[in-house]
Structure 1
Amino acid sequence: MNSWIKGMAAVGGSLLTLLYGGWSELLTALCVFMTVDFITGWVAAGMAGKLSSNVGFKGIARKMSILLIVALGHLMDGVLGTQNELFESACIYFYLANEALSIIENTGRMGLPIPDVLKKAIAVISEKAEKEEER
């Protein structure tokens, strides 16, 4: 059993390295944003009495699709020989901004006020995403 777990960890680590070139702070931020978005969406739907396992499944499928697109961005960087993970970073910045906006929308549906500093931080992420797309 212990060997099986070690083998699965090795396969998982190898797959992550292949798809993302290792783990970065940007990937960590994206995963945290996606998790917070899912949780806030779930809570907002529950508060509105519209909680649905079918909608939740679609949300998880969308999150997995985001990770696949980011992996494609990383692979494009490798094929094209781009510096500083250009395509992968552009994908992550785009989805970070998208997830942040969704989180704000979800918390707004829950009746929570949004701090101005958070709104400004999201604007900065959006600007970075636009700059990465222009490159």
Structure 2
Amino acid sequence: MALMHLLAVAPVPPYHQLYFQHFQGMEDNQIIWLFVWVVIIDIVTGFAKSVITHHTTSSKGTAGLIKHGILLLVTLTLYPMLELNGMKNAADTFVGFYIMFYAVSIVENWGQMGLPVPEWLKKYIYKLSDEYKEEQRHENHN
């Protein structure tokens, strides 16, 4: 009877197969798509800011693209592992954390281009504060 029970239970697929199933499942995951899009928007607004403020350098742009690429690679590799090991909430929190950081960066880029940012929001973003602008003026004069 015990032998029949063992034969009726399907074997657990190897870890790497489960990992790839979870990796493929990210294509329908809204938080992952939001993360990818905020990274893309941050890259675009960062480039636009550098052009508008006349601070475009290929070395800074290349370093930024490498940084964004590595973060995307690490996140898209780690997320399925966390999910597979029963830590989907931790994975979502991890990605949500980076979404918030990128959102702040997008608002900074937006404001530094001279585009309107609500006053209530400006007081929470250091790079849009009067203190930061004054610090930048002193650095540029020296």
Equivalent pair of 1:108/1:114 in contact (CA under 8 Å): yes
Question: Which of the two has greater helix per residue?
Answer: 1
The Cα offsets for residues 55-111 of structure 1, whole Å up to 9 and x where unpaired, read as 111111121222233222431332x323xx123211210110000000000011101
1:45 aligns with 2:63: no
Equivalent pair of 1:69/1:91 in contact (CA under 8 Å): no
Distance in 1 separating the partners of 2:99 and 2:114: 23
Letter in 2 for 1:72: L
Distance in 1 separating the partners of 2:20 and 2:57: 31
Distance in 2 separating the partners of 1:104 and 1:68: 24
Residue equivalent to 1:35: 40
Distance in 1 separating the partners of 2:22 and 2:66: 21
Q: Percent identity?
A: 24
* DSSP-derived class of the 1:22 partner: helix
Over the aligned positions, Cα root-mean-square deviation in angstroms equals 2.4
Residue equivalent to 1:96: 99
Residue equivalent to 1:77: 83
Distance in 1 separating the partners of 2:95 and 2:58: 27
Letter in 1 for 2:26: G
1:112 aligns with 2:123: no
- Most deviating of 94-103 and 22-31: 22-31
Cα distance change, pair 55–20 in 1 and its aligned pair in 2 (3 A): farther
TM-score (norm 2): 0.61
Equivalent pair of 1:37/1:99 in contact (CA under 8 Å): yes
Equivalent pair of 2:38/2:103 in contact (CA under 8 Å): yes
Gaps in structure 2 of 5+ consecutive residues: 1-18, 122-142
Equivalent pair of 1:44/1:107 in contact (CA under 8 Å): yes
Distance in 2 separating the partners of 1:61 and 1:108: 24
Look at both structures and tell me which one has the larger radius of gyration over its CA atoms: 2
Runs of 4+ in structure 1 deviating by more than 3 angstroms, as ranges, are 15-21
